[in-house]
Amino acid sequence: MLFAESETFWKSPNIFDILGAIGFLIGILSVWFAWALSKKDIRKQIREAADRSSQAARDEVRRVARALVHTGISDSIRMLDLAREACRGKLWPRAGELCEIAGEHLVRALPQPALAPGIAVQIQSVSPVLLDCVTELRRQPRSRTGEVPAQVLRGLDESILALHGANTMMTAIQMEIVNG
């Protein structure tokens, strides 16, 4: 017969047969072990990728919130500059309206999560000054007569300076975050 050396079909196992069977088992175990390690590594990579993506999303939300605050402050400064010019042109209703718009921009900027507490206090200190300016401008006659009340000009100037300070602080915080 072709497979047997003796009268029986199965030959007695020798050392090479045993080593071959052990090698076969080791091969199967190594494939299973490699699969288990790769599965663990893939899960770790997926978890790290998820952490990186959620961190990137949080950073993007912070960046957008900072941009909203910066835009609100910049728009308020622009409105107050226009209100100051309207006061010089004795356009009292327009100056009051611009002060109100500036206050609205500030109110929208206040609840943003990117607003640092020091900046929030600085912005909140501007709101009562703007309300006083609007009240004083509403007392002015509708015609283009009279002088600009000193309280209004002082309030507008103080508000603009305070908002420039807050804007500078926002820029400094943003530069610090970007540069590490």
Give 9-49 pLDDT, tens digit per residue: 667 778 888 899 899 999 999 999 999 999 999 999 999 99
Q: Please, which residues have CB within 8 angstroms of residue 142's CB and are 6 or more apart in sequence?
A: 92, 93
Average pLDDT over residues 95-112: 87
> Domains along the chain?
61-179 (1.20.120.660)
Confidence check: pLDDT of 76 > 80: yes
Neighbouring C-beta atoms of residue 139, cutoff 10 Å: 11
Q: Please, which residues have CB within 8 angstroms of residue 90's CB and are 6 or more apart in sequence?
A: 144, 145, 146, 148
How confident is the model at residue 43, as a pLDDT?
Answer: 95
Give 145-154 pLDDT, tens digit per residue: 778 788 888 8
Q: Please, which residues have CB within 8 angstroms of residue 122's CB and are 6 or more apart in sequence?
A: 162, 163, 165, 166, 169
Neighbouring C-beta atoms of residue 108, cutoff 10 Å: 15
- Predicted TM-score (pTM) of the model is 0.65
Q: 138 is written with which tokens?
A: 């509403």
